[in-house]
Structure 1
Amino acid sequence: MPAATFEPPAHRGLLTESIARRLQNEIRSGAIPVGAKLPSERELAVQFGASRNVLREVLRRLEAQHLIEVAPGRGSFVIDQSTADARSYDALYRAGRPTVRQLIEARIPIEVEIVGLATSRATDVQIEAMRTANAAMIAATDPVVKARADLEFHDTIAAAAGNPVLRIMLSSIGGMMFEMMLRSNSDPSIAEPGVPHHPEILEAITARDTDRARHHMREHLSLALRTYGPDLDLSLDVMAANHIETLLHRRSTP
């Protein structure tokens, strides 16, 4: 494989995120119009200086987001985002260019209520799932893997709340949450003060202490209000793109 297309495992996830975001933005902005055929995996790999495995994952993600349709033997085509079936909640949210602050304002009432319900309803098996997700997050060294484990931790709490409406509501903002978690888990100024919150939330849930669980969740989600600085009022898309490029630059610099 050419040197330009070799990616260390920890670099591969960030590169996938970066390329996926660039193509998402071009499709959503209309720069790549509806009906347009995307270049082949090989052509995209050359264009972005990435391996075909990375581009394959990027295209799978675009298809899952209903941005493209893959026609076997013909290629990948941009599909109409105005149809009800294709227009996901994530796309609707992003159309309003929400900021980091606005996402936090939305998460607090949803997740504080979720953790309160989970504290009184979680089974031992569900609490163990929370512990497993948290352990995976702590053990991860790849920032993308760590962020996905963080998202899984919050989803296990939502599952334990026993309210499918609340879980779906939280899931609908999962893409934006992931972008915040990627930043929070790879920026030392944010990650270090945030580390104790998951164990504190877990301890409160295990003790069936609803008030304490709600308090720790609120503190956990409010941390970014104190640590994100000027990025707090950037759109999530801009904040995430800037941070991913910063991480890629750090990893490519000797």
Structure 2
Amino acid sequence: MLNKTLLPQSVARQLQTMIQSGELKDGEKIPSQRELSLKFGVSRPSLREALLTLETLGLVKTEPGRGTFVTKSGSPQARDTGNWRYADSYSVFDVFQTRVMLEGEIARLSAGRLTHYQFDLMEQATAAMEESWARQDLIANVEADLAFHGIIVSACSNAMLRDLYEAVRDKLTETQRQPIPRTDPERMKASVGEHRTIVAALRAGDSEAAGAAMQAHIRNTAQCAGLAP
């Protein structure tokens, strides 16, 4: 049985396929949560989580009192990022600012500690980002991005920083989805290049370069989301 994290992702992936294939057309109101819960055999909370993911990625938009609509068309620059689901606790700026500090230090402390196998996995994740973007599988694109960052975290020498990352991972994950609606092909190309710059610094065991490259990457991602932490 899928766990509570994988189940909403599975539903989100199925809905994304329906949108990308044209089964659910641009501007079309999607079926009610009750209908979709029955269709996919999932609980309402799992379905809502899936819809939140799709909304952050810019594939659907919920309008109070009207329902949820497909919104996949238009240039990236013309599309709004989805609602920030953690607004009651932290602003998206706060989370990006925390990522700059936390992941920059994690990358610095991971230099010289990654194995050849881990580097291979990071290269595979970066290639998967490119390939999934080319076919507009946005969910797979973000999953590959998360895998890349997670590998670096796993090599960090500071156990408390690793635990802190895991404790706020859901918020960090959301900032990796948040810029997607406004990401154009050139920005994705640049993001992939930044990943490779990070890998090069980590391979060289250059802790300061790795930390700086990670911080620059996160700041550039934040700027894509309209922020400058």
Q: Bin the TM-score by the shorter chain.
A: 0.5 to 0.7
Closer, same or farther: CA 54–175 of 1 in aligned 2, 3 Å: farther
- Alignment partner of 2:110 out of 118, 121, 127: 118
CA–CA distance in structure 1, aligned partners of residues 160 and 47 of structure 2: 25
Query: TM-score normalized by structure 1?
Result: 0.55
- Confirm whether residue 100 of structure 1 aligns to residue 92 of structure 2: yes
Shift of 1:203: 1.3
Matching residue of 2:183: 188
Q: Distance in 1 between matches of 2:197 and 2:43?
A: 35
1:222 to 219, 222, 225: 219
Query: Aligned pair 1:151/2:143, yes or no?
Result: no
Unmatched segments (≥5 aa) in structure 1? 1-6, 15-44, 64-92, 234-254
AA partner of residue 163 (structure 1): N
The equivalent of 2:125 in structure 1 is 133
Normalized per residue, the structure richer in helix is 1
CA offset at residue 95 of structure 1? 7.3
Residue 165 of structure 1 and its aligned partner are, at CA, apart by 2.1
- CA gap of 1:117–1:53, structure 2 versus 1, over 3 A, is farther
* Structure 1 Cα separation of the partners of residues 190 and 44 of structure 2: 33
SS of residue paired to 2:42 = helix
Q: Which moved more, 1:103-112 or 1:173-182?
A: 173-182
Q: 1:58 to 1:110 in 2, by over 3 A?
A: farther
Letter of the aligned partner of 2:206 in structure 1?
D
Contact 1:119 1:213 in 2 (8 A): yes
Distance 1:225 1:95 in 2: 16
Q: What percentage of residue pairs aligned between the two structures are identical?
A: 25
Counterpart AA for 2:215 = R
- Counterparts in 2 of 1:1-254, with a 5 A limit? 9=14, 11=16, 46-47=32-33, 49-50=35-36, 52=38, 54=40, 56=42, 59=45, 94=86, 96-140=88-132, 141-189=136-184, 190-229=187-226, 232=227
Indicate the RMSD between aligned Cα atoms, in angstroms. 3.4
Partner deviation per Cα, 1:198-243 (whole Å, 9 max, x = no partner): 11111111122222211210110111443323xx49xxxxxxxxxx
Can you give the 5+ residue segments of structure 2 that lack an aligned partner in the other structure?
1-11, 20-30, 50-84
Structure 1 CA distance for aligned equivalents of residues 147 and 90 of structure 2: 22
